[in-house]
Amino acid sequence: MGLFDIFKRDKESYLHLFSDDLVTPAQVKANLDEVCKRNTHVVASIDDRPRTFRSIFLESGRNDDFVIIDVMMPKDGNRIIEESEKVRIDYTLEGVMYYFETKFIEMVSGRFPSIKIAFPSIIKKIQKRGSFRVSPSMDNPIIVELTDLIREDVSDISEGGLSFYTSRTEKEIPIGVVFERVTFKLPTMDRYITTKAVIRQVIKGSGIGVKNKCCIEFVDMGMKDKDAIAHYVIVRQREMILRMRGEE
C-alpha cells in the first residue's frame, strides 16, 4: 500500500467519523470525546415537550457508560429532566449537525453541579454544513450591519451566508464587493458575530414598493461562529416544526 492509499484511507476514516451516522462504539466515543473536549453547546428536548433547553458537553465516561452535561438553562429544565422518560440531544461538530437519544441517570452534585445521561449506542447525522437556511421569527429578528449606514433585517441565514431585503440597488451594493466587517447577533447568543462577507446575488423586487433581496456569503468565518449559527438553526428548526404542529 502506497502513501497515497494510506492518506486516502485516513481521510475517508476522518470524514466517516465526523460526517456520517456513527454506529460503532469507537465512532460514538471519538465523537463524544471531541465535543466534551470542546465543551460544545447542546440543545436538549425532553419527552417531546415543545420547549428546548440549553447545556454544554462536559465529560464522556471512560467505560462508555455515561455522558456528563452541564445543568440546564432555563433552570426548570433540571427538574423536568429528572422526571423524564427520554431525552434528545442535538449539537454540531465541524459544521455537521448530530443528535442522539438518551435517558437521564442522575444529578451530579459537587462544586459544579451537572447531569449524567446514558451513553448513546448510535449518533445520527441530521445534515451537512450550510445545507439548510432558516428565517428568523418576527419576535426575534436578526439585524445585519454591513457598514454604519447599511443595517437591514435578515431574511434567512445558514452557516454559509445570509440574505436580507433592502431598498438599495445593485449599483449601490454590486455583486462581488467585499465587506470587511459584517456584524450581527443571533437570538441564541449573548455576543456579536463579526465576519468578512461578499455580495453574491441581488434579486430585484417585482412590483412597486417591493424591496430587493441581497444574498451574501461569509468569508473565512471561524468554526466557533459557524457552530453558533448551526446551533441557532437547530433551535429555529424546532420552533418552526412545533408551530406547524400547533404546539407553540
163 near 155, Cβ under 8 Å? Answer: yes
Work out whether strand 193-203 and strand 212-219 pair parallel, antiparallel, or are unpaired. Answer: antiparallel
Which residue, of 68, 93, 127, is where some domain finishes?
Answer: 127
Q: Are residues 91 and 18 in the same domain?
A: yes
State the average pLDDT over residues 224-242: 86
Question: What does the pLDDT look like over 110-149, one tens digit per residue?
Answer: 878 999 999 999 999 875 544 578 999 999 999 999 999 9
User: Grid coordinates 454506529 are at which residue?
Assistant: 23
Question: What does the pLDDT look like over 17-74, one tens digit per residue?
Answer: 445 789 989 999 999 999 999 999 999 999 988 788 999 999 998 888 999 999 999 8
User: 62 is written with which cell numbers?
Assistant: 471512560
Burial 65-99 (b: 16+ CB within 10 A, else e): ebbbbbbbeeeebbebbeebeebbbbbbbbbbbbb
Cα gap 81→213, rounded to integer Å? 43
Q: State the CB neighbour count (10 A cutoff) for residue 24.
A: 12
Q: 25-38 vs 3-19: helix axis angle to the nearest 10? A: 70
Q: What is the reported pLDDT for 59? A: 94
Confidence band for 14, pLDDT divided at 50, 70 and 90: very low
Cα gap 62→148, rounded to integer Å? 51
Confidence band for 3, pLDDT divided at 50, 70 and 90: very low
Q: Are residues 108 and 184 in the same domain?
A: no
Question: What does the pLDDT look like over 172-219, one tens digit per residue?
Answer: 999 999 999 999 999 999 999 999 999 999 988 877 777 899 999 999
Q: Which of 155, 145, 198, 146 is nearest to 175 (CA)?
A: 198
Q: Are residues 21 and 115 in the same domain?
A: yes
Cα-trace Rg, the chain: 21
Give the range of the structural domain holding residue 176, as residue numbers without chain letter.
143-225+234-245
- Is 133 domain-assigned? no
Q: Are residues 154 and 209 in the same domain?
A: yes
pTM of the model: 0.60
Share of the chain above pLDDT 70, in %: 88
Collapsed DSSP state (helix, strand, coil) of residue 75: coil
- Is 138 domain-assigned? no
Q: What is the reported pLDDT for 9? A: 45
Q: What is the reported pLDDT for 206? A: 75
Q: Are residues 63 and 176 in the same domain?
A: no
Task: Provide the CATH number for the domain around residue 86.
Answer: 2.30.110.10
Considering its fold, how many domains does the chain have in total?
2
